[in-house]
Structure 1
Amino acid sequence: MKSFFKNIGPGTLIAAAFIGPGTVTICTLAGVQFGFTLLWAMVLSIVATIVLQEMAARLGLITGLGLAENVKNEINSPVVKNIAILLILSAILIGNAAYEAGNISGGILGLETIITDPIIYFAGLEINIFSICIGLLAFILLYLGNYKTIERSLVTLVILMSISFLFTAIITKPDIVAVLKGMFVPRLPDESWLMVIGLVGTTVVPYNLFLHASLVKEKWKGVSDLKKARKDLYISIILGGLVSIAIIVCAAAIQDSSISNASDLAKGLEPLFGSFSKYFLSIGLFAAGITSAITAPLAAAYVVSGCFSWTGGMKSKKFRSVWIIVLVMGVLFSSIGFKPIDIIKFAQVANGVLLPVIAGFLLWIVNRSSVLGIYKNTTSQNIMGILIVVATLILGAKSLLKVFFNI
């Protein structure tokens, strides 16, 4: 057992990162509104996550550099390099700010289950006190740089919630044939496009590609550990995906379609925990929210640091300024009157739209012989990668048309 925990690597952290408040919310809404119909989108997301995260892990392990550093180093033209850096920075900062708002809103959902009426009025605005409290807690942990112990504790709570959903999915006694049909027979009911984008966005998180490439080289040493890194990734992502599928299955058992708060989401846990389900879910949502509220700004800071070759580590002023900006934007978006579930849905859709940009850069860099040599992508890996990028492009374009032109 000691050896098992010793070999747990970044894959587990990546899986824990995408099983956050956004995953719980989006998967619950997907199950409530569409039953098992969109399970195929989650299966697609799991496969896409494994393919892309393997590329990121291989890149970081073999080169010893993150994704942003490799992209910057491989572009010779100053103009093209600046455009690429601008695209990466825009995608990560915008995506992480939206994701951060979703993380904080998830924590708010958890707290609002136990404590009601957290709104104060200031200068004509409705301000949610919980978002400010969560933001301050995240700020303190990030500023001190001593968040690992607390993060492990919170991830433990998220894991407990995930196990609960797995058991609950079994207890609801779903129709196995219907579940398998939903997983492997793609269908798109009316008004389901944005939900599909949300499911992809909550699983294949763009900033996780940067985070994985940066973390993997700290856990293992070079190509000799590539097999261990892949094993860690495959097990972690598949288990995380099964939890997401279980949440959809649980939610499909909910007869009431009016899901608007944590108490409603807790109905997915009632078969296992009864009246205590809302309290258990509140702890899990708060845990997921605050954990991700720490991770998202950090990932953005690492990306910006890599793009501009900053030195000085986590406690440098430049590094801190980046995560402070992302954190403040997240607090603002989550505190000025928007409904938490609407923010979380927007965050996942934003991630789904930004994903093709980051995946495109990743696919390009892992095909460079000057970067990976004999460990560059194989033909089968490229086919999978191209299919994923094309699929995310189509889904992203469709979601934009739906939002702006109602097409």
Structure 2
Amino acid sequence: MAKKIRDSEKDPVVGTSKPKLLSVLGPGIITGAADDDPSGIATYSQAGAQFGFAITWTMLFSYPLMAAIQEISARIGRTTGHGIATNLRTYYPPWILPVIVALLFIANTINIGADLGAMGDAVGLLIGGNVALYVVLFALLSACLQIFLQYARYVSILKWLTFSLFAYFGTVMVVKIPYGELAYGFFVPTFSADTAFWTTVVAILGTTISPYLFFWQASQEVEDERESA
């Protein structure tokens, strides 16, 4: 009996009154939080400012698709032990991988530029100063963390940073929301012939289901498996 108690105390998840939080949270929470990136926040904010709750119905499609794609990407990484790029090279014609990687590079470059620009603008709104300098500093900080920090330590930092998303919950608690309009916009699709409307819809779907999420989720699952092996 004593041995069972000692064994349960060693388990960080089961059998303890204070489980280690970071060991419970998996790679999916980081990828899911990363989808709420600065470019996404800027897109959602502009959509709300222009159209109010009229585009809220897109969540009925974007969220299930995002969750399904993350699940599939995670299963690919966990099952095969390799990322999506390696699986493409292994199971598909050789020309497919360079094309996919080239498209991913272009999409990621645009996405990272939008993220850094949004982060610089946010800091500029808070404290003022040179926005371009903030963009450069954020780029250098992100690159240095990925290059010089150990994977386990970096993942631990990212997991703790996901708690910043609770700021949304706090905002909902203090901001007056017209729930009737919200429910109507969510359950009753609204369409418009305006070009700006459909451009915003495409932007929402594109920033919610970003290409880098597929590769990141699968690769992080593989790295997590190797780290815990």
Determine if the alignment matches structure 1 residue 69 to structure 2 residue 86.
yes
Q: CA RMSD in A?
A: 2.5
Mapping for residues 87-106 of structure 1, pairs under 5 Å: 87-106=99-118
Conserved 8 A contact 1:16-1:155 = no
Question: What residue number does 1:164 align with?
Answer: 167
Verify: 1:81 aligned to 2:94, yes or no.
yes
Q: 2:219 aligns with which of 169, 193, 214?
A: 214
Corresponding position: 1:174 with 2:177: yes
SS state at 1:216 partner: helix
Query: What 5-or-longer segments of structure 2 have no aligned partner?
Result: 1-17
| Cα offsets for 1:278-329 (capped at 9, x unmatched) | xxxxxxxxxxxxxxxxxxxxxxxxxxxxxxxxxxxxxxxxxxxxxxxxxxxx
2:35 matched residue in structure 1:
18
Separation in structure 2 between the aligned mates of residue 94 and residue 153 of structure 1, nearest angstrom: 28
Alignment partner of 1:51 is 2:68: yes
1:109 aligns with one of 100, 113, 121: 121
Measure, in 1, the Cα distance between the counterparts of 2:91 and 2:141: 39
Query: Which runs of structure 2 are paired with 1:193-212 in the superposition (5 Å)?
Result: 193-212=198-217
Displacement after TM superposition at 1:16 (Å): 1.6
Q: Secondary structure of 1:27's match?
A: helix
Q: CA deviation at 1:88?
A: 0.9
For 1:144 and 1:6, locate their aligned partners in 2 and report how far apart those are by CA, in whole Å. Answer: 23
Give the alignment's TM-score, normalised by structure 2.
0.79
Structure 1 residues 175 and 135 mapped into 2: Cα distance closer, same or farther (>3 Å)?
Answer: closer
Q: Whole-Å Cα distance in 2 between the matches of residues 110 and 29 of structure 1?
A: 14
Structure 1 residues 72 and 48: CA distance shift in structure 2, 3 A: same
* TM-fit CA distance, 1:155: 6.0
Confirm or deny: 8 A CA contact 1:42 1:199 kept in the other structure. Answer: no
2:9 matched residue in structure 1: none
The letter for the 2-side match of 1:104 is: L
- AA at the equivalent of 2:94: K
- Give the Cα–Cα distance (whole angstroms) in 2 for the partners of residues 57 and 153 of structure 1: 21
For 1:208, the aligned partner's letter is L
Counterpart for residue 130 of structure 1: 134
Query: 2:186 aligns to what?
Result: 183
Cα separation, partners in 2 of 1:133 and 1:3, compared to 1, 3 Å: closer
The runs of at least 4 consecutive aligned structure 1 residues that moved more than 6 Å come to: none
TM-score (normalised: structure 1)? 0.46
Deviation readout 1:225-246 (Å, 9 max, x if unpaired): xxxxxxxxxxxxxxxxxxxxxx
